[in-house]
Amino acid sequence: MPDVNELPQTFVPREIVDATLRIAEERGVPAADVTLRDIAVEAGISRSTLLRRLGGTRQALDEALRAAGVEPGRSRPVRERAIDAAADLISKQGLATLTFERVAVAAECSVPSLYVAFGGRDELMRAVFERYSPILDVEAFLAGPRGDLEDTVRRFHRLLADALEREPRVLPALLAEVFARPGDAHVQRVFRNVTPRLLAGLGSWLAEEVAVGRIRDLPLVLLTQQMTSPILLHFLLRPVTSGVSAADLPTRDETLETFTQAFLRAVSVPSSQSGE
């Protein structure tokens, strides 16, 4: 294995290539067998940040490794290829068009191998949204150290915006299906997997803020929607809005700060009333 200090510069950040090679060497496995989650942990960044730096695809990392003189190794497992292929299909064509036949073509595998890996379409969709929705990032963020109320809201809004802008655009595609077909069985099943975890994470934190008197005592579902809905709607429409009225569109940072302050004005309890 080559000396990581001699790796050439590529459009993939050097530290990501280095992290991949360290894990592969420690475990004695091909670089292709190192998961993106493990690479993110080794590099000290979130999985969403890693995907953003790779341009949303594992292929960029494989090319960077080859440029460094390292062959990534055997083909990635069917499950990994299928998740990425399904995410790309959902982003480009929508949730309703997702079939095992289309995924098999895109992932260069057979339909029977998909049944072995996932059992059915619902498990595939669950795996896709587990990886490409902000759920894991939200859980990690809320489980880690946080600042004060304002800082936490600001950082959460940025995390959610990152998820909405990240390619492939799986979360916007799901939300589009919700608006178009809220009663669709596939949409309902995805949300039954996502919503309880979102409420368990974000809802628990909001409940803690209510308990100590920093946030008004409102139903958790409404508090959660108050915190997330403006960001979701704005960043879903931002690509269209920017093409129609770009001159009037605030910058990304200005937009996030506006929604952060609006949420705080709407639900926070003045320090004189909270006892602080």
With beta carbons less than 8 A apart as the criterion, state whether 190 and 126 touch. yes
Read off the tokens for 142. 């809320």
The string of pLDDT tens digits covering residues 209-234 is 999 999 999 998 899 999 999 999 99
> Residue 82's CB: how many other CB atoms inside 10 A?
25
Residue 38: partners with Cβ closer than 8 Å, 6 or more residues away? 23
Give dist(CA 107, CA 35) in Å, integer. 17
Q: For 135-188, how does the pLDDT look when each residue is reduced to its tens digit (9 = 90+)?
A: 778 888 888 888 899 999 999 999 999 888 888 888 888 888 777 877 877 777
Q: pLDDT by residue (tens digit) across 14-24?
A: 899 989 989 88
Taking the model in full, what pTM does it have? 0.65
Q: Do domains 11-59 and 133-274 have the same CATH topology?
A: no
Tokens of 143: 């489980």
Assess whether pLDDT exceeds 50 at residue 3. Answer: no
User: Taking a C-beta distance cutoff of 8 angstroms, is the pair 18, 70 a contact?
Assistant: no
pLDDT in tens, 129-147: 888 877 778 888 888 888 8
CATH superfamily of 133-274: Tetracycline Repressor, domain 2 (1.10.357.10)
d(CA 266, CA 140): 26
CATH of domain 78-128: 1.10.10.60
CATH fit for domain 11-59, picks 3.30.70, 1.10.10, 3.40.30, 2.40.160: 1.10.10
**Which residue bears the tokens 């809320």?**
142
Rg (CA), the chain: 21
Cβ contacts of 116 within 8 Å, gap of 6 or more: 78
The answer to whether the beta carbons of residues 251 and 195 sit under 8 Å apart is no
Read out DSSP for 195-220?
Answer: HHHHIIIIIHHHHHHHHTTSB----H
Domain ranges (residues) in the chain = 11-59, 78-128, 133-274
